[in-house]
Structure 1
Amino acid sequence: MMFNWLSLVTGLFYIALGIVIIIYKFFFIILEPTVAYPLGAVVMLYGIFRIWRAVSRIKNTGNDE
């Protein structure tokens, strides 16, 4: 159960990281806009996927009880 909540928080951090990459165009090195925008979008999509997966697992554990 704790893993699901940790995955939810991690998803939020991934979304925040994607926003930072897009705004500052930095991810360990200075990025060109043509690289920063797609990389930020992919990181944000991964964060949304982690949140969706965590919410679905939390709902499923509630049904099993």
Structure 2
Amino acid sequence: MFKWLSLLAGFIYIVLGIVVIIYKFFGVVLEPNVAYALGALLIAYGIFRLVRAATSIKNKD
């Protein structure tokens, strides 16, 4: 169950990163450079979680 939740969290981080880049808002209005950096960081972390969960699911099955 945790592995599937980790997949879901990865997708949520990616979507949140895209939203931050597009709207430049994360609780407060962000400068464009900060929004791009934070969005990229969130997307990278989401991809990391997806890859880690996928390899964990693949190794168990």
TM-score interval, smaller chain: over 0.9
Aligned-residue offset at 1:57: 0.2
Unaligned runs of 5+ in 2: none
Specify every segment of 5 or more residues in structure 1 that has no aligned partner in the other structure, as ranges. Answer: none
CA distance in 1, matches of 2:34, 2:44: 16
The number of aligned residues is: 61
Q: Does 1:55 align with 2:46?
A: no
Distance 1:7 1:60 in 2: 15
Inter-partner Cα distance in structure 2 for 1:25 and 1:12 = 19
| Structure with bigger gyration radius | 1
Name the CA distance, whole Å, in 2 between partners of 1:3 and 1:60.
14
Task: Write the distance in 2 (CA, Å) between the matches of 1:34 and 1:59.
Answer: 37
Report the counterpart of residue 32 of structure 1 in structure 2: 31
Identity of aligned residues (%): 62
Letter paired with 2:49 = R
